[in-house]
Amino acid sequence: MKTGLAGRTVVVTGGTANIGRAIALAFAAEGAGVVIVGRDDVQGRRVCEQLAAEGAGGTLWHAADVTDRAAVGDMVAAVHARFGGVDVLVNNVGGNVDMDAFVDTDPSTWEQDIALNIRSTLNCTHAVLPGMISQGSGRVVNIGSTSGIVGDPLLAVYSAMKGAVHAFTKVLAKEVGGQGITVNAIAPYGTLPEDPDRDVSTGSRWHPSGVFARLAATRAEQMHSIGRRTLLQRQTAYPAEIGAAAVYLASDAAAFITGQVLSVDGGTQIA
């Protein structure tokens, strides 16, 4: 498949670990210029080296907290200075900070889930859209979740925010389609890092100090209770499979696809 991505500039938020890293590597293999954004400087520089080895047409690591509007503005300015503009934005930052029945949640954690999952997406999209509109083209790919479609018990706020990402995807697609911009989302289920030592940043939920490791050590049975069965032999996706979906939605081959939520879930919704 000819993707047409060589020479285009792609920004991947949360690009230092797991899904984000795999997405960045997938675009690098297409010869795109790849910008990764995150908070772990050591891992960011390491991933940039991997992107260059994969064939990226230029790389940039930019440390930023994308829940902060000013930091996002600085990031976009740095991308324009280095590459001249943004052709593809992948809003990958997301996550949850805890897991409980909603009635038992600590309200102080709600804002963190809201900021990680929807505010980051709003901030980055709002910052890059004027440039895409000016050039008359662009691709926005939002990373949602099957949690935002079916709802996961013990993850009420996270599920609600991923649902918000999906709704935002559809509305924005309606607003900017006439200006040459497509907007789609990917809804993964159960994606695990292939090599935790290589693929995980300090901010990842899969880091040894992250929320999943903490919950696995203290409430493993409760974590297991929200799992869903796939229709396949394995129960989790590979990060590279999410990367392949992102490349497709950003490619010339998907120019007539917009406002869609593509589930990469092994059939969990019909199992």
Confidence (pLDDT) at 98:
87
Got the DSSP string for 75-100? HHHHHHHHHSS-SEEEE-----S--B
In the numeric block, which tokens belong to residue 89? 């934005």
pLDDT exceeds 60 at position 176 = yes
Query: What positions carry a catalytic annotation?
Result: 158
pLDDT exceeds 50 at position 201 = no
Q: Percent of the chain having pLDDT more than 70?
A: 88
**Three-state helix/strand/coil letters over 23-71:** HHHHHHHCCCEEEEEECCHHHHHHHHHHHHHHCCCCEEEEECCCCCHHH
pTM given for the model: 0.92
Least confidently predicted of 97-101, 217-221, 244-248: 217-221
Confidence (pLDDT) at 220:
61
- Rounded to a whole number of angstroms, the CA Rg of the chain reads 17
pLDDT exceeds 70 at position 107 = yes
Q: Is the dihedral of CA 268, 208, 95, 85 positive or negative?
A: negative
pLDDT exceeds 60 at position 209 = no
Confidence (pLDDT) at 191:
80
Q: Which fold has domain 9-264?
A: Rossmann fold (3.40.50)
In tens, the pLDDT along 108-121 reads: 999 999 999 999 99
